[in-house]
Amino acid sequence: RSRLHLYYAEDRTLAEIGKELGEHESSVSRNLERIRKELRATVEGLLRAGKVADGGPATPGMDDAQIALCIQYAGEASAIDLDKLFEAPSASQTRNGKDIPGPDRILEP
- The HSE-up count of residue 67 (CA atoms within 13 Å, CB side) is 19
pLDDT in tens, 6-63: 998 899 999 999 999 999 999 999 999 999 899 889 988 988 988 877 777 778 899 9
According to DSSP, residue 26 is labeled H
Q: Is 97 left (phi over 0), alpha (psi -120 to 50) or beta?
A: left
pLDDT in tens, 78-94: 666 555 665 554 444 44
Whole-angstrom Cα distance, residue 30 to residue 84? 14
**Other CB atoms within 10 Å distance of the CB of residue 64:** 14
Judge if pTM exceeds 0.75.
no
Domain boundaries, the chain: 2-99
Whole-angstrom Cα distance, residue 45 to residue 62? 10
